[in-house]
Amino acid sequence: GENVEQHPSTLSVQEGDSAVIKCTYSDSASNYFPWYKQELGKRPQLIIDIRSNVGEKKDQRIAVTLNKTAKHFSLHITETQPEDSAVYFCAPVYNFNKFYFGSGTKLNVKP
Partner 1 sequence: EAGVAQSPRYKIIEKRQSVAFWCNPISGHATLYWYQQILGQGPKLLIQFQNNGVVDDSQLPKDRFSAERLKGVDSTLKIQPAKLEDSAVYLCASSLDLDRVPDTQYFGPGTRLTVL
Task: Name the 3-class secondary structure at 50.
Answer: strand
Q: Where are the alpha helices (DSSP H) in the chain?
A: none
108 touching partner 1, by CB under 8 A:
no
Task: Tell me whether residue 12 or residue 103 sits nearer to partner 1 (CB atom).
Answer: 103
Q: Which of residues 74-103 bind partner 1 (CB under 8 A)?
A: 89, 91, 93, 96-103
Residue 72 region by backbone torsions, left for phi larger than 0, else alpha for psi between -120 and 50, else beta: beta
Shortest Å distance, C-beta 78 to partner 1: 24
Cβ pair 14, 111 in contact under 8 A = no
Shortest Å distance, C-beta 101 to partner 1: 3
Number of residues that bind partner 1 (CB under 8 A): 23
Task: Tell me whether residue 53 or residue 60 sits nearer to partner 1 (CB atom).
Answer: 53
- C-alpha separations of 95 from 1, 22, 27, 28, 80 in Å: 10, 22, 10, 11, 34
Residues near partner 1 (CB under 8 A) are: 1, 31-32, 34, 42-46, 49, 51, 89, 91, 93, 96-104
